[in-house]
Structure 1
Amino acid sequence: MFVNESVSDRVDDLSGNESGITESQISENLETIWQKICAGLRRDLGAQIFGQWIKPIKLSVFDSDTGLLQLELPSEFSAAWVRDRYAERLLLAWKVHHPAIKDIVFQAPSGAAKIAQISHANSAGKQSEYKIASESKFRLDLDPRMTFDQFIAGNSNVLALNAAQRTAATEKPLFSPLYLQSSTGQGKTHLMHAIGHAFREEFPSATIIYMSAERFMIEFVSAMRRNEGMEFKASLREADLLMIDDIQFIVGKNSTQEEFLHTVDSLISQGKRVVVAADRPPQALDGVDQRLLSRLSMGLVADIQSAGLELRRDILKHRLATMPHQQVSEEVVDFLARTISRNLRELEGGLNKLLAYAQLTGREISRELAEEQLSDILSACRRRITIDEIQRTVCEYYRLDRNEMSSKRRARAVARPRQVAMYLAKVMTPRSYPEIGRKFGGRDHSTVIHAVKLVEHLRGEDSEMDNDVRMLLRQLES
């Protein structure tokens, strides 16, 4: 039964009247919409990801009273995986095509198998299996998109990337544990997943455990309550590669810290590999046992700095290169890279939302559309840069007296930097053209419009001018 019981009853009641609504017509309409949505997702995600995660989705039940649509997947694991990564995108697509749909849920059919296997072949063709569902003591959930090939390197993350690759390599690493440190959304979790993928490629029969510190604590406490503490400890110590994310959340828990300390000691003494990640260096962890602090600091602490403008731009271009049918101008890429600067997760999420909206509505991707649809992200990310700050930075860069920003001099050596400052004021602040003009010696708004258009044109024609503007943007953003 595709339509819910209340709708079905009404269909029966209406049979023979002028409405002519049937269950099959409702189902066919939703099936047609679903095929349209799938066609777009196949183009965006690529055939492999689409075939693995989206294609198996089946329409289940639609409740017209609540606007709730249920989507069915083959297993609980796949339902959770799709929910975590594509729920917002799928809901937006359904709402565009069928406004009556208010929400969607993902579920596995009753009685579906909760145990899945991933088969993986090494270079010699030998098969090895990894349990990823509830029968395993610690299921291994690695995002297939988070590999080394998909990690974009830059000055801010090259040390962490090289250390991660060495940790996953065939030869024994020079350091253990590897401690990855960065603020939220800068790529440390991506590197941990990439280590897991690469290590499994090199050692198909290896035991890999990856979990958050929160899950580690929950599993430990649950095992102790069931009087299965010894089994829990033995399972951890069987790992060939142990990775614990967000280690900062393990602090303050004495018994958990004690167990984690003994586990790390045991694995390191056996030559096993340990990777941990946190949002701060080991010395800044509050309430951590000094012995555990010593172990975490004894390997390599690899810091991932905030991504700079060029790296953010490279990440967007890499993402777009996988979708050649999507036309996004250099101006839009530059705008997103400059304004969404807090973390890379927000950056990619903003791009995905923009692409999905443009595809589903048929609107052209422009800077105006980006400002309209990403207003919540942009407002949170924008640092409040003032026109005075812009003028001061431009004068220092071009070695001009600050008074030249308001002077009447028209010599090119003065006028051009002034025009650049006007351009930056329009790009980096919410000020209107008249407001900007008043800050530049009471100039008319038409003068500011001319300056902005001129600099935009020169950036496309003159590499030196483009380089100057990029350097100034970088200075102001930092």
Structure 2
Amino acid sequence: MDSIAAADRVTWGQTGDRLGAPQNEDTTKGDEAMTPDAEQVWLRTRARLRAAVGEDVFTSWFARLELEEVVGDLVHLSVPTRFLCSWIQSNYVEKILDALRQEDDGIARLHVTVRVNGQARPRLVTASEPPVEAELPLQPAAPRPLPALVSPGPAQPAAPGDALSGSALDRKLTFDTFVAGGANEMALGVARQVASAAANNVVTFNPVYIHSSVGLGKTHLLNAIAWAAGASDTTRNIVYLTADHFMYHFITAVKSQSALAFKEWLRRIDLLLIDDMQFLQGKSATEFGHTLSTLISGTKQVVVAGDAPPRDLDMLDDRVRSRLSGGLVIPIAPFDPELRRAIVQKRADQATSRFAGLSFPPAVIDYIARSIVSHGRDLDGAVNRLVAANQLTGEPITVPLAEKTLQDLIRNRETPRVRIEDILKIVSRHYKVARTELLSSRRSRDVVRPRQIAMYLAKALTSRSLPEIGRKFGGRDHTTVLHSVRKVEQLMSQDGDLTQEIELLRRMLEE
């Protein structure tokens, strides 16, 4: 830990006043930096936490918290494991800050760090901003702790030296909240088995590849595996990454000339979970292939999720597709009426447990399950809308209220959902241009025009954003997609034959 100037260091007084009592710079680590008064304040804070959460919870999550130092309005605590640090970060930061502020109202921020060989590395968390990952430098020659199980949300552009970390886990996505049915029972069974085996340092099926269309539970299962596998052994190195986050780390490592550190970090993972595999592009896909081979060869468990089977992941080379196909490939089918009803009932039960007097009649449950046939997120959204309508207006939840509140959601789902994969297939066949050419960087007219039309159709017929469409079209920038859409719209306004041709493609996709 870097030394902190003596003038910046403060301690607590007996009455809770903050005193500018300089400390010797040689006492900047661990207990040597603590005064008896500061330790007493921390002991009283621990007592408050124990009373607030109960003995069992305190023993599980707070007993191993240690006070490192106090700097200005910041308190620095440490724990021995990555999982414990991440769990506290996700669930108890505000509670700890509140307890500290009751002892000293000048506290505004909190460091929660992982002790590595008796020393802590800083992780800054404040009451007013989301938690951030520990700062683990990307330096190939220097030893470093492995990443925590949970990390912040969307990755931001980073300067060299940014943290190596996983993507954010959602603590609500566990096996207990997953609703099983005929469409997903095999995927759920395999996920439970993988989590149980990983918790016992055993590798069963490897790799495991789960695929389905959007909103059918892939992300839920990957989160559930991570939580279940990490619960029994908090020292296990479990990393959940979206494809976007994987690419961000790889690009950051290359730019900062830290590729060796990035590869070393990947190869020391015990359980790797990769989500949204279809978005992996370019050299990042190649690096993933190397990582996959290394982890499998080292008997480390890998679980991957995507929206298409491995054979349709054209951004991967044949060797990687073969590796994924050679593992256990599990599809999740579209939900049947029974599963849709079970999901709606589960979400309704959760809502009624939170709001006194709230009731979902069986007829409303049946109406939602029958009317919304797309995927689980729309079912969740329907329940949330009705809860909001009830809480805002006081109107009881009935079928007429559901018809009025959900009409746009139901109308939007009456037409079949068009996928970008379908658009690529239809355009490729119609214009006799290979799908790989549409995704390539070729700029000849016979490729550019079909590519622009395909992008236009993707914008018109799917709910994908411009950046998402760009990624699906060979990793292009969203401005390229916007230019293509506007170009096709301009051509259609001038060329009636092109308008009829695109309308034909639209009808073929919507059939």
Provide TM-score, normalisation by structure 1.
Answer: 0.53
Does 2:379 align with 1:347? Answer: yes
Of 323, 331, 335, which residue of structure 2 is paired with 1:307?
335
Q: CA deviation at 1:203?
A: 2.7
Q: CA deviation at 1:345?
A: 0.6
User: CA distance change for structure 1 residues 315 and 221 in 2, over 3 Å: closer, same or farther?
Assistant: same
Could you tell me which amino acid in structure 1 is paired with residue 205 of structure 2? F
Could you tell me which amino acid in structure 2 is paired with residue 378 of structure 1? I
Output aligned runs, 1:252-267, within 5 Å.
Answer: 253=282, 255-267=283-295
Give me the CA root mean square deviation. 3.4
Contact 1:182 1:188 (C-alpha < 8 Å) held by counterparts: yes
Which deviates the most, 107-116 or 262-271? 107-116
User: CA distance change for structure 1 residues 112 and 202 in 2, over 3 Å: closer, same or farther?
Assistant: closer
Aligned position for 2:179: 152
Question: Which structure has the greater CA radius of gyration?
Answer: 1
In 2, the alpha carbon distance for the partners of 1:112 and 1:335 equals: 38
Aligned position for 1:400: none
Does 2:189 align with 1:162? Answer: yes
Identity over the aligned pairs, expressed in percent?
A: 37
Of 296, 310, 328, which residue of structure 2 is paired with 1:268?
296
Does 2:324 align with 1:296? Answer: yes
Does 2:299 align with 1:249? Answer: no
Question: Secondary structure of 2:333's match?
Answer: coil
User: CA distance change for structure 1 residues 295 and 210 in 2, over 3 Å: closer, same or farther?
Assistant: same
Greater share of helix? 1
Does 2:254 align with 1:224? Answer: yes
Provide TM-score, normalisation by structure 2.
Answer: 0.50
Question: Secondary structure of 1:271's match?
Answer: coil
In 1, the alpha carbon distance for the partners of 2:223 and 2:337 equals: 25
Does 2:204 align with 1:174? Answer: yes
In 2, the alpha carbon distance for the partners of 1:302 and 1:116 equals: 35
Q: Identify unmatched segments of 5+ residues in structure 2.
A: 1-89, 98-107, 113-124, 136-145, 153-161, 417-511
Q: CA deviation at 1:163?
A: 0.8
Of 164, 172, 179, which residue of structure 2 is paired with 1:137?
164
Does 2:227 align with 1:197? Answer: yes
Q: Identify unmatched segments of 5+ residues in structure 1.
A: 1-50, 59-72, 78-106, 118-127, 385-478
User: CA distance change for structure 1 residues 215 and 184 in 2, over 3 Å: closer, same or farther?
Assistant: same
Could you tell me which amino acid in structure 2 is paired with residue 304 of structure 1? I
Contact 2:151 2:169 (C-alpha < 8 Å) held by counterparts: no
User: CA distance change for structure 1 residues 76 and 187 in 2, over 3 Å: closer, same or farther?
Assistant: farther
Could you tell me which amino acid in structure 2 is paired with residue 358 of structure 1? N
In 1, the alpha carbon distance for the partners of 2:237 and 2:187 equals: 23
Q: CA deviation at 1:305?
A: 0.3
In 2, the alpha carbon distance for the partners of 1:378 and 1:219 equals: 39
Does 2:314 align with 1:280? Answer: no
Contact 2:148 2:165 (C-alpha < 8 Å) held by counterparts: no
In 1, the alpha carbon distance for the partners of 2:373 and 2:345 equals: 15
Aligned position for 1:378: 410
In 1, the alpha carbon distance for the partners of 2:413 and 2:343 equals: 18
Q: CA deviation at 1:288?
A: 2.2
User: CA distance change for structure 1 residues 214 and 130 in 2, over 3 Å: closer, same or farther?
Assistant: closer
Aligned position for 2:264: 234
In 2, the alpha carbon distance for the partners of 1:379 and 1:112 equals: 37
Q: Deviations over 1:167-223 (max 9, x none)?
A: 111352431111010100000000000000011013321111111111111210111
In 2, the alpha carbon distance for the partners of 1:150 and 1:112 equals: 24
Contact 1:239 1:272 (C-alpha < 8 Å) held by counterparts: yes
Structure number with higher relative contact order (C-alpha < 8 Å, ≥ 6 residues apart): 1
Output aligned runs, 1:54-73, within 5 Å.
Answer: none
In 2, the alpha carbon distance for the partners of 1:209 and 1:296 equals: 19
